[in-house]
Amino acid sequence: MALAILCSGQGGQHPGMFDLTGDAPQAASLFAHASAQLGSDPRVLVKQADLDALHLNRTAQLLCTLQALSAAALLDSALPGQRCLAGYSVGEVAAWGVAGWLGAVETLDLVDTRARLMDAESHGDEGMLFIRGLDRASVDQLCAGREAAVAICNPANAWVLAGRRSALDIIAHEATQHGALRASSIPVKVPSHTYLLANASAAFDRALADVHLQTARQPRVRLFSGIDGDPVLDAGNDLHKLALQISHPIQWEKCLTGCVEAGATAFLELGPGRALAEMAAGAYPEIPARSLDDFRSVRGVLEWLTRVMGSA
């Protein structure tokens, strides 16, 4: 039996996101490092800043990565040795840290670099769009000839597109006319996982060349790459995929499938938000799926883990 740990991407930041992890002594050094990066304590920032500030690209990426790393540090002793790990967008960088391939502080620093490079290649007129209910061919046709492309492939014909906001607005209108069940803007202001960030991909690849992978890692952890859903078998080579995913679409459906095929008997999303747990539950309703945001206490998380891992 294995627990599939899902590291969230940006979009779900909220004032209470650190309520369970913020006081954990295991994560104190992480919050101190993130405080220096952000210029203020993240636990205070999420409660005092407005939503626009929380959704700034660099801030959002650091907050979401901090949540994944701090939650993993808090729960590590209670997690089963056999684990699957997958991360959604910036969550994939966090997943490399949670898996033990990267040091936690180095993971935060890499995310800082990643976000700055993406911002440098964005011009303020980009965004992301969620579409549900159209097949891939129809979505590709809507993007054809426009500065937009599929960014994330989710289960059940659910797609995230990214590109110029003017193009996405037209696509959203036409998608509804073509029978889409939903077409709604996502509060992200960079064209993540599309060709528009090719330069950021190349620059981040150069930054990854200086990374020193950890050797003292959990041997029973299976990590999946976002751009193809394949397991990381050669970390030295597969690290390159972290750079590629900045400008290539994320195959999230394949990542979930990979976790199940590797023996996952429960999904736990580290948050913030519940989007990944909900997608996992929709794709695999027979497998328990929860998010850290579902729980009011650490004790509740631990009791759930004991129950689902003990009954698997």
pLDDT tens figures, 233-258: 999 999 999 999 999 999 999 999 99
Burial of 41 by CB count in 10 Å (0-12 exposed, 13-18 middle, 19+ buried)?
Answer: middle
Contact (Cβ atoms closer than 8 angstroms) between residue 218 and residue 76: no
Q: How many angstroms separate the CA atoms of 239 and 235, rounded?
A: 6
CATH numbers and ranges of domains, the chain: 2-121+196-310 (3.40.366.10), 126-189 (3.30.70.250)
Q: How far is CA 39 from CA 192, 242, 296, in A?
A: 25, 26, 28
Q: What is the mean pLDDT of the chain?
A: 95
pLDDT surpasses 80 at 312? no
Task: Please tell me the predicted confidence (pLDDT) of residue 252.
Answer: 98
Burial 182-203 (b: 16+ CB within 10 A, else e): ebeebbbbbbbbbebbeebbeb
pLDDT band at 21 (very low <50, low <70, confident <90, very high): very high
3-state secondary structure of 114: helix
Task: Please tell me the predicted confidence (pLDDT) of residue 45.
Answer: 98
Contact (Cβ atoms closer than 8 angstroms) between residue 58 and residue 112: yes
Task: Please tell me the predicted confidence (pLDDT) of residue 1.
Answer: 66
pLDDT band at 309 (very low <50, low <70, confident <90, very high): confident
Element (H, E) at 256: helix 252-261
Task: Please tell me the predicted confidence (pLDDT) of residue 217.
Answer: 60
Task: Please tell me the predicted confidence (pLDDT) of residue 219.
Answer: 63
pLDDT tens figures, 64-114: 999 999 999 999 999 988 999 999 999 999 999 999 999 999 999 999 999
pLDDT band at 310 (very low <50, low <70, confident <90, very high): confident
